[in-house]
Amino acid sequence: MGISVRNMLQEDLELILKWRTDPDITKYMKTDFEATIATQRKWYERIQEDASKKYWVIEINDIPAGVVCLTDIDYDAKTCEWGYYVGEKSLRSFAAAISIECSLYDYVFEEMSFQEIFCECLSFNTGVIKLHEYCGNHINEIQKNAILKKEASYDLVIMSINGEEWRKKRKDFSYDSISFSP
């Protein structure tokens, strides 16, 4: 399986909108949004000018498959948050998830020299929470009823791993390395 990432392009927006509005993806997201190509274009323009965000398109076997991002990048504190999804159901796999997560940690801790990376998951997304724990993350906090979506509230699980923890854990993994460098 060949996995790579590339910078997000404006030409990707319609496909990203399709993925982002898929109920299998949206139910795990912290936010709902107005799903139009116009709002996608405005969002894309904002993130292009925002140094605290980096977005890539995930490609699996040369097929655009999903999105991975760093957000809340704090170059002074050397921390950031991350998230991803694979919108193409036929390309989802444990091996792809491990390669994406582990390679992103390599990029954040080795190339960016950051100290800690955070992620947030809705509490019912137990598979992803277990995946993050498997990769060395620990739960920092569970915020009760923190997310309101479609008139229902959900608990938010905040997790993190630091560079030292990753360097120790990394020895336990074999994965296809993905380059996140520009």
Residue with tokens 């940690």: 105
As a whole number, the mean pLDDT across the chain is 95
31 pLDDT band (50/70/90 cuts)? confident
Determine, yes or no, domain membership for 61: yes
pTM recorded for the entire structure: 0.95
Query: What is the rounded end-to-end Cα distance, in angstroms, of the chain?
Result: 22
Q: What is the pLDDT of residues 72-103, one digit of tens each?
A: 999 999 999 999 999 999 999 999 999 999 99
In terms of Cα–Cα distance, which of 134, 59, 79, 53 is closest to 101? 134
Who contacts 132 (Cβ-Cβ below 8 Å, separation ≥6)?
A: 101, 119, 121, 159
Give me the sign of the Cα torsion angle 91, 7, 122, 150: negative
Give me the sign of the Cα torsion angle 171, 172, 178, 182: negative
What domain range includes position 162? 3-170
Determine, yes or no, domain membership for 181: no
- Here the contacts of 155-158 (C-beta below 8 Å, separation 24 or greater) are 155/122, 155/123, 156/30, 156/120, 156/121, 156/122, 156/123, 157/120, 157/121, 157/122, 157/123, 157/129, 158/118, 158/119, 158/120
Number of independent structural domains in the chain: 1
Q: What percent of the chain has pLDDT over 70?
A: 99
Q: Which pLDDT score is estimated for 54?
A: 97
Determine, yes or no, domain membership for 176: no
Q: What is the pLDDT of residues 109-158, one digit of tens each?
A: 999 999 999 999 999 999 999 999 999 999 999 999 999 998 899 999 99
Q: Which pLDDT score is estimated for 25?
A: 93
Determine, yes or no, domain membership for 179: no
Q: Which pLDDT score is estimated for 182?
A: 66
Determine, yes or no, domain membership for 132: yes
Determine, yes or no, domain membership for 151: yes
In the chain, the amino acid numbered 108 is V
Mean pLDDT calculated for residue range 56-67: 98
Lowest mean pLDDT among 19-28, 61-70, 122-131, 139-148: 19-28
Q: Which CATH number characterizes residue 32's domain?
A: 3.40.630.30
Determine, yes or no, domain membership for 92: yes
Strand 54-60 relative to strand 3-7, pairing: antiparallel
Q: Which pLDDT score is estimated for 59?
A: 98
Residue with tokens 């991350």: 82
Determine, yes or no, domain membership for 88: yes
Strand 138-149 relative to strand 79-86, pairing: unpaired
